[in-house]
Amino acid sequence: MITFTDVENNEYQAQCEIEKTDAVNGEKSLSGTIYFGQDVKANIAKGWTLFFLNEEYVVVTYTKNDKENTVAFSAVQAFFYKMSKTGLYETWNGSHPFSTYLDALFADTGYTYDNTASVAAFEKQDWGMSDRLSLFNDIIDQASVEFSVEGTVVHIVPAMGSDLSTIVRKKFNLDTAEIQTDNTSFATYGRGYGAYSNPDDTTSQRLEVEYKSPLYDYYYPKFGAIEAVPVADERYTIADNLLAAVKDKVDKGWAISLTLNLVDLQSVGYKYAMANPGDYITVIDENLNFSDKVRIIKVTSDYDIRGKRTKTEVECGSLSFSEQQKTSQSTLSNVAAGKIPVPNEWLTSQVQLATNSLLAARTQINFTDQGIIAVDKSDSNKVVILNSAGIGVSTDGGQTFKSAITADGVVAERIFGSLISGVAFKTESKSGFSLTLSSGTLRVKKDDLEFGSLTATTDGATGEPNGFAIWNQQGSIFSINQGSSTGGSLPVFQLPATATAENRQYNLYGSLMSPLVSKQPGGMWIYHDSKFNVSADGGNNAQFQVTVGKTSVWGDFYVYNGSKNAAQVTRDGIRATPAYELAENYVGDIGEGKTGEDKTVRVDIDPLVFDLINTDKPYQVFLTAYSDANFWVSERGKDYFIVSSDSPDSAFCWELKGKRRGFEDQRLVDTKDTYEDLEKMEGLIPNGDQNIQSNS
């Protein structure tokens, strides 16, 4: 009996014949005919689901046959359906890490993922604004990974399946075989063309690579270079990525497809279970002169109304990866995924998966000289061995034990748990770079050279821990980096290799995005040995500069709600002498003079003062008598003025004020600042009380 569920989660039972399809990269679909179950046949509609072999499927099509009183339907695994019915409403361009694409695709879908494949960042153009499954399909070719779906977790690996010792042979367990080859796309040489050195100039130099396959020299004497269609894509900016695309196109241009009808030998005690998609098996058919190891791409099984498997068809082949992984849109395509941090709910699903697997297993126990051997009755590739050497778990019939516990330690491809506790942990790259976590300290090393560590700090007096520190060894670099669009990264904060404890140094490459605030007792210091500059135009020019004994300002200088003062030392302390303010921009000069016998005198304007003021505009001369006479200005010239008196040989003082060159028309200039702007300037207007005289 099969359980169907309607949109209100009401359950109904039915008996069906079902054809189930499993393929590499997770494709799972059903097609079936419902014979018994009147409620289902009468009411089946959009949004109905069913469970088959402990997996949920969504009904996508159904056809009612009144003559035979049956209903034919097709269904896809829930993951594919749900991903196809949710969209990503963003558009992305440029290069991003694989995990970044997948973070966006998996967000808020109810699905998480686990990745053990390494995928370099790659570029996309106008990626997005579509359903998530289509976008998933779009990146599988570039990622070249495979996956399986278990519940709400998608597992990503470099390649699915195992290399089995299963041999399928004509007249033994092989009924029929059909081999099809296609060499229309066969090639031994390829070229790739990527981005231009100047993206706006298509005549500039272009990224270019070429590739020769291992078969190049063999076929060259007869055919020369057998060339593939060039890869021409300006989105490629990294030579290695472009070369990989060319290599993939050349090496996978020769297609082989093998379709087999296998006799299910489980019922007669055959050692190995039916292989799964992704597994490699050896096929021998003397009639076709074929003997080779092939990979299972798709398994199609028929089940009768009692749930018994009656027929299995296996499709094997070595088609190009991008083509072999894709299935038709009618089965909602295939998927690839990438790395994310493991969330708590993911661990919960792993515990549930392990629990379900253990409780659902039906096991045959054998007692042998090798120890106790447990074999899964439904899949004899799953074997557990227990003996004096330890415990081993195998998925390839006992050929290898990738998960094991022995006296030498624990071997496992994955370890899941809420807490992993121990004395030391170490991870190491192929280049010898390693991270070691021991005694509460994380050390970064390359072979025997230690770069630095993350460790606790202690109180110098008591020795008690009081915090933690990240420190680098002298001669090494410590850097906090920001990832770039090309897949690399650039430093934002860095301790250079030249830094020492006696000469502490750091480099800041990023931009400050928050206020610069200091609580240092005694005030905040910003200093340099010779010159300190402040710029507000991106560092092109300084608007404020401090050197020894001098402060310079370029541009206008404003003082809000205060005065410009010179501090002078007096007998009663240091006193402020405010600057004289005018409504317009004037430059002045002061001097003394004396009229002659003719009661006049010419006063020449100092040439330097003349350079500062514009005498084409009216300037003012103020006179003060130092003798018993009357004085007036009888003439104002461009670079002089004449003072007259009513008595000869009379002394006086003069003050000249002229408009500053370049600022002749300025008068009470509007700063464009508002009261609201001033309120944002901390301390300028305490409590909102403007110290400004106004008529309003």
pLDDT digits (tens, 9 = 90+) for 71-130: 999 999 998 889 889 999 999 998 888 888 898 999 999 898 887 888 888 888 889 999
Q: How many CA atoms lie within 13 A of 358 on its CB side?
A: 7
Amino acid occupying residue 193 = Y
For residue 665, what pLDDT band results from cuts at 50, 70 and 90?
A: very high
Q: Which amino acid is at 353?
A: L
DSSP, residue by residue, 400-452: --SEEEETTEEE-S----S----SEEEEE-TTSEEEEEETTEEEEEETTEEEE
- Can you tell me the mean pLDDT for 608-635? 95
pLDDT of residue 609: 94
Averaged pLDDT, 371-397: 85
- Examine the pLDDT at 348 and tell me if it is beyond 90: no
Q: List, in order, residues 6 or more apart from 648 with CB less than 8 Å away.
A: 595, 596, 597, 598, 599
Sheet containing 600-604: which strands, arranged edge to edge?
A: 600-604, 640-645, 631-636
C-beta separation of 284 from 175 below 8 A: no
Residue position matching structure tokens 């030392």: 569
Phi, psi angles (nearest 5°) of residue 171: 70, 5
Is pTM beyond 0.75? Reply is no
Q: Residue 487's closest CA among 138, 121, 9, 45?
A: 121
Output the six-digit token pair for 130.
Answer: 């579509």
What is the per-residue pLDDT for 693?
Answer: 40
Question: How confident is the model over 210-250, as pLDDT tens digits?
Answer: 999 877 887 888 889 999 999 998 888 888 889 988 998 88
Contacts of 621 (CB under 8 A, 6+ apart): 633, 636, 641, 643, 654, 655, 656
Which helix (H) or strand (E) is 217 found in, with range? helix 216-223
Q: What is the pLDDT of residue 112?
A: 86
User: Per-residue pLDDT for 656 more than 80?
Assistant: yes
pLDDT for the residue numbered 286: 65
Pairing of strands 550-553, 544-547: antiparallel
Q: Which helix (H) or strand (E) holds 72?
A: strand 70-77
Task: Please check whether residue 594 is in contact with residue 601, taking contact to mean a CB–CB distance below 8 angstroms.
Answer: yes
